[in-house]
Amino acid sequence: MADNEFLSTRQAAQRLGVSLGTVQNMVENGVLDAWKTAGGHRRIPASSVDALLAKRRKQIARNGDAAGQLDILIAEDDPTLQKLYRMTFDSWKLPVTLRIVGDGFEGLLQVGQRMPDILIADLMMPGMDGFEMIRRLRAMPELSPMDIIVVSAIDAQEIRQKEMPQDVTVFGKPIPFHEIKGFLLGRLAARQRT
């Protein structure tokens, strides 16, 4: 049994590009196989991590989703704004599927399960904030096709000073639904041309 056949929780987290907590959650939910040493440390077969990465790549490659729908993930902790997003998107009658999460940690889990076409994120959230979530996502080259939009009350210049990746679109609050709708219509039109 070679040492590189098994990974520690930290090594698995680094290979997957997620936090230790995310890996622990994946183990507890059966997403990753693992066993515990006599000292209580988790050991994760490298093959289990590689299989999850291969599955993620396959999902990303076939992310044409049902009937040309855009898959949109919204990370926003305010329940009122979550409802507003849902009501507004429903009223547009566009071919989109909408998933909403309340923090960056949950956002990473959702992206790990299925990469959205577009992530719309607040920055100030409990637990893992939007800055950290976006940095982690943009550190994974296989997720580069995913568009990221930030909607925040923080000044755009201040956001850029905190090393926000250049390919992230930044909007201020209140939520500029007309701009977001235009962005979605552009993506849908581009998808129909391909």
DSSP 10-63: HHHHHHHTS-HHHHHHHHHTTSS--EE-TTS-EEEEHHHHHHHHHHHHHHHHTT
Q: What is the pTM of this model?
A: 0.68
Tens of pLDDT along the chain (194 residues) come to 455 799 998 898 888 777 777 788 778 777 788 988 888 888 999 998 888 777 766 654 554 445 578 999 999 999 999 999 999 999 999 999 999 999 998 999 999 899 999 999 999 998 888 999 999 999 998 999 999 999 999 988 888 888 888 899 999 999 999 999 999 988 888 876 65
pLDDT in tens, 34-62: 988 888 888 999 998 888 777 766 654 55
The pLDDT value recorded for residue 138 is 93
Catalogue all structural domains in the chain, each as residue range(s) with its CATH number: 3-60 (1.10.1660.10), 63-193 (3.40.50.2300)
